[in-house]
Amino acid sequence: MNKYYSYFITLVLSVLLTLTICADECIKISDCACSTAKNGEIDLAGLAGEQGYLEADNDPKYKFRFYPCEIKQDWNNRCTIQDGPALCQYLYSIGETFNLGKVETMRVESHSGLVTVFNYTQGTPDEKGNRTSEIELVCNPNVTETVFEFVEERPIIHYKFRLTSNRVCPGLIDLGCQRIDSCTCQADYNKGFVSVHGLLNSLKKEWIEFEDNEAFYSLLPCPIKANSTAYKYCDDITGGPAACMKASDLERLTLGLQSKMRFVVTQKEPFTTAVVYYGGTSILNTERKATLVLRCDEDVSIAKVEYLGRNPLLNYNFRITSKDMCPHW
């Protein structure tokens, strides 16, 4: 009797646990992230590394690419980037590309336990040749490599993919580098600290300022005084700006905040840390974001600062390459 009673109790608890997990809905908070009430966020930022995309070629006829968050302007690799695609398909036989869904159309199809499904649409339902895609995000905390796979298709209509990674597990904040402050983290595996403090100290500056043919930029990863001239390109200093810009055709603009940031290791060899800052609400009713990639290179003694590109008003990408970005004690 006790045996059956024990089995019954175990079964009931299992059902209740499953119902609890399933009930934890994941609400969209940006074009590449959703948030659960109990387990934290699922955020695809940094998932694809510096190249910006994941590639699946497990079908002999096609190659597929997935751009989780945004596309840098010169990432025109077999995708029509003007559409801001999340997914695209390259057909080997005729050398043509088809976009399968836009980043801005992302919606959370479902979320239950360790599996979350994101859905993307290429056009509106009344458009001829409208296509949709879905990606099954499978959380596996025990894997070290992200695997992106093509699963099946209904040609021209619907495409299904699967992405297995420890980076799509809810609540994995500061993955691979534990946050100390807004510009310092401690790397996994006892590697030491990654910090922008040392670089700024060597430059004898509180911030980094540069320009390109599009705009003037200031990077402010570490806390500075409220009355600092570093804020001259920012339109709002509430929350501590991390990046700001001023373009010839635009007023000053705050791109991201120190108070809303996380560290994500995108590559371990050479060690690279993407510092992702989230900003305010853009005109498209989605969260503006600036990403600062810190690239470790022991051979670079003079820091190289680069503007990598943008999706206007939404995503801005920068990179600092220096030996100061390498983990150290």
Region 171-194: mean pLDDT is 77
Task: pLDDT band for 286, please (50, 70, 90 cuts).
Answer: low
pLDDT of residue 71: 58
User: In this model, does residue 320 exceed pLDDT 60?
Assistant: yes
Region 146-160: mean pLDDT is 91
> What is the layout of strands, in order, in the sheet containing 208-211?
208-211, 215-219, 241-247, 253-267, 272-281, 287-296, 315-322, 304-311
CATH 2.70.130.10 maps onto the chain at 26-168, 177-325
pLDDT of residue 57: 79
E strands, 92-214, where?
96-102, 107-112, 115-121, 132-139, 147-154, 158-165, 177-181, 184-187, 192-195, 208-211
Out of 148-152, 235-239, 284-288, the most confident range is 148-152
CB 87 within 8 A of CB 101: yes
| Residue 321: strand, helix, or coil | strand
Region 217-244: mean pLDDT is 87
**pLDDT tens figures, 235-263:** 888 888 999 998 876 788 888 888 888 78
Nearby residues of 144 by Cβ (< 8 Å), 6 or more positions away: 166
CB 252 within 8 A of CB 233: yes
pTM comes to 0.64
What dotted CATH number matches 177-325?
2.70.130.10
**pLDDT tens figures, 16-27:** 334 444 457 888
Region 293-306: mean pLDDT is 88
Of the given ranges (156-160, 189-193, 258-262), which has the lowest mean pLDDT?
A: 189-193
Cβ atoms within 10 A of the Cβ of 219, count? 27
Instruction: Tell me the two tokens of residue 64.
Output: 């597929």
Instruction: Tell me the two tokens of residue 291.
Output: 């990403």
User: Cα separation of 225 and 223, whole Å?
Assistant: 7
Nearest alpha carbon to residue 288 among 25, 32, 73: 32
Of the given ranges (151-160, 167-176, 286-295, 314-323), which has the lowest mean pLDDT?
A: 167-176
Cβ atoms within 10 A of the Cβ of 18, count? 12
Average pLDDT for the chain: 79
What dotted CATH number matches 26-168?
2.70.130.10
Its sign, for the CA torsion 292, 297, 302, 308, is negative
